Structure 1
Amino acid sequence: MNVSISHQDDILTVRLDGTMDYTATSLMNGLISDINSISASRVIFDLAKVARVDSVGLGMLHLAKDEIVGKGRHLTLRGAAGSVRRLFELTDGDASFDFE
């Protein structure tokens, strides 16, 4: 998985590209640390280029959400489509996350 981060005004955008599965665990753990070091009240995870998310990837997104929201920030998922969006619907993740 590839990650790029941009920070403009009070919004931190994290663009993910690839597959979110067990192979991305250490990358996501580092990403959460990076996010915590950047001051922004809103964090957007752009999933438009994520081809697949498995249960481990979904769990990592929940952990990221807990960490981000726990710091008083707002998390939004952007661009989730196809099977990625369907996974959120099947697991009630669409009720746990804000989407745009």
Structure 2
Amino acid sequence: MDYGIELKEQEAVVALRGRLTFNDHAKLRALIREMLQNPVKRQVLELGSLEFVDSAGIGMLLIAREEMGNADKKLVLRGAQGQVKRVLTVAQLGKIVTIED
């Protein structure tokens, strides 16, 4: 997994690319620290370029959501496609995290 962060006036958009799996745990922890440090409240994970997510990746997204909530920030998942969208749907993540198309 790779990522890039773009700060806008109302939100931080984090574009995730590649695959989000158990092997990315340390990278995602570093990303969460960066997200906590930026000043905006709305943190958007742009998933359009994410090709694959496994169950560990879903768990890491839930950790990110919890960390953002603890810091009074809102996590939004946006633009999931293909396998990633199917996994988010099957896991019913939309009941816990805001998901936008």
Q: Which residue of 2 aligns with 1:58?
A: 58
Q: How does 1:26-65 map to 2 (within 5 A)?
A: 26-65=26-65
Q: How does 1:1-100 map to 2 (within 5 A)?
A: 1-100=1-100
Q: Secondary structure of the residue that 1:89 maps to in structure 2?
A: helix
Aligned equivalents of 2:93 and 2:10: distance in 1?
25
Once the 2 structures are TM-superposed, how far is the Cα of residue 93 of structure 1 from its aligned partner?
A: 1.0
CA RMSD of aligned residues (A): 0.9
Aligned equivalents of 2:35 and 2:26: distance in 1?
14
Q: TM-score, normalised by structure 1?
A: 0.95
Q: Secondary structure of the residue that 1:27 maps to in structure 2?
A: helix
Unaligned runs of 5+ in 1: none
| Alpha-carbon contact 1:18-1:52 (below 8 Å) kept | yes
Q: How many residues align?
A: 100
Aligned equivalents of 2:17 and 2:67: distance in 1?
21
The residue type equivalent to 2:6 in the other structure is S
| Alpha-carbon contact 1:36-1:68 (below 8 Å) kept | yes
Unaligned runs of 5+ in 2: none
- Structure 1 runs of 4+ with >3 Å offset: none
Percent identical residues: 27
Aligned equivalents of 2:94 and 2:84: distance in 1?
11
Residues 22-50 of structure 1: CA distance to partner in whole angstroms, max 9, x if unpaired? Answer: 11111000011111111111010000000
Aligned equivalents of 2:94 and 2:23: distance in 1?
24
